[in-house]
Amino acid sequence: MHKLMLVDQDPERSASLEVALLVAGYAHIIRVGQGENLLAAVRTHQPDIILIDMQSPDRDTLESLRNVSREMPKPIVFFAE
């Protein structure tokens, strides 16, 4: 099963999405806030897929995603409410 990293600034929505993903059968989900160092989190947790809220990524998050793509290419899925 894939290891997912869920990047969202809203803790309540992030918790709800985590529950939905667990119910869907994903057993390993890492939640990261957008203010956190995304590149460091990816290095530490080595997710297979990164899920990110497309309505709220800030400039630092987008730059971190570029760095992740260059250093450790991962599928990145943007989602919206």
Give 16-74 pLDDT, tens digit per residue. Answer: 999 999 999 999 999 998 766 888 899 999 999 999 888 766 777 778 888 888 988 88
Q: For residue 5, which of 37, 45, 34 has the smallest C-alpha distance?
A: 45
- The domains found in the chain, sorted by start residue, are 3-79 (3.40.50.2300)
pTM of the model: 0.84
Tell me, what amino acid is at 9? Answer: Q
> Would residue 47 be called left, alpha or beta, if left means φ above 0 and alpha means ψ between -120 and 50 degrees?
beta
